[in-house]
Amino acid sequence: MNDTRRVYLDHAATTPMTDVAVEALTTQLREVGNASSLHAAGRRARRIVEESRETIAQALGCRPGEVVYTSGGTEADNLALKGLFWSRRAESPRRTRILASAVEHHAVLDPLLWLEEHEQAEVELVAVDGAGRLDVDALRAAVERDPDTVALITVMWANNEVGTLQPVADVVALAAEHGIPVHSDAVQAIGAVPVDFATSGVDALAVSGHKVGGPQGVGALVVRREVSLTPLLHGGGQERDVRSGTLDVPAIAGFAAAVEEAVKHQAEHAARLTVLRDRLVDTVLVEVPDAVLNGPDGADGNRLPGNAHLSFPGCEGDSLLMLLDARGIECSTGSACSAGVPQPSHVLLAMGRSEEEARSSLRFSLGHTSTETDVDALAAAIGACVERARAARA
């Protein structure tokens, strides 16, 4: 293939900014004004911030006052988890338990580990099935063992690795029986599947700009006004006294424009990507017949439309990734690195896969710039790359 053409199949990591987001951001870059200042420039900046807040609220089905700007999904998750835990424990010292699915993003798992090590939280990871879907019966058993000790429940809306949509409605219904707040990391879901904060019943929802075609470094925690959150950051008291810090007006404008467009075109975007994803999976399986699709089959809409996660027996995922990269195709592994040593994906391990299976996996994720040509380029390259990866390992 032509070395000058790169095929980008890693939209779940970050997706290119959309034209409307670029225009909204760049329009504000030459303007001056701190949104907390009282003079004309400050008032102009504040107007952009609040109009953007209203745009995001309308797109996500919440009230403007429920949108708390953050630096992205990781900060939003940290604010929700730590803020909820501290507030709930202050109300009742017995509330030390946090229940989470075993397949959460590290932006959730690592704050939970920190709370365990430093704040005496008791974190319980609830099992998932072979497709990566939360076992609601196991969650119910964990809650009902002693509901008065549960500070909060956190379950992601959609899994970032294998694309599994989680039973958020079932989790909310169960939590409501015992008055337990629910947080959901919806970073992968916005613009890919329908997400409505008010009707979902969750108490807090994490969103990130760069996953929906907005700029990096901006996001939001959507949190109900009646929910008490202990702040992580202290300073000027911006964002309801929950999140202090001077607001990035250009990034917020770009973020709002991207969210609005992503939600407006969600249905047609999902339909297009579902067809592309199925084509990708089918063509890869033709070229590598023993490859295995991880996660749900997506037949009944139980998977993110742009997600294809496959294991390639006999391959090291990292090696296969680099071989594809040399052919101009960019994707990702499900594994993480610790001190430079590849670790098997905790998601696949929780789904019952072996360490070897977990290490042999790649995630191909499609987005708004993806085309049939991209899928065909992967199909043309994958067979030879798998052969080389297997030979290298042998």
**What string of DSSP letters covers 155-186?**
--SB-TTT-BBP-HHHHHHHHHTTT--EEEE-
DSSP character at residue 39: S
Answer for the pair 202, 184: CB distance below 8 angstroms, yes or no: yes
What sign results for the dihedral spanned by CA atoms 94, 100, 106, 108? negative
**Cβ atoms within 10 A of the Cβ of 231, count?**
17
Three-class DSSP category at 100 = strand
Candidates 62, 315, 331, 337; catalytic one: 337
For the chain, give the longest Cα–Cα distance. 69
Q: Which residues on adjacent β-strands are paired with residue 309?
A: 363
Q: Which of 345, 364, 367 is nearest to 356 (CA)?
A: 345
Answer for the pair 80, 223: CB distance below 8 angstroms, yes or no: yes
The 10 Å CB-count burial string (b at 16+, else e) for 128-153 is beebbbbbbebbeebbeeeeeebbbb
DSSP H helical ranges for the chain:
19-29, 40-60, 73-91, 106-119, 136-145, 168-176, 197-200, 249-264, 266-287, 317-326, 346-350, 355-359, 372-393
What sign results for the dihedral spanned by CA atoms 202, 12, 265, 277? negative
Q: Which of 77, 13, 109, 100 is nearest to 334 (CA)?
A: 13
Is-catalytic flag, 62?
no
Q: Do strands 332-333 and 336-338 pair parallel, antiparallel, or not at all (unpaired)? A: unpaired
Which residues belong to the active site?
A: 337
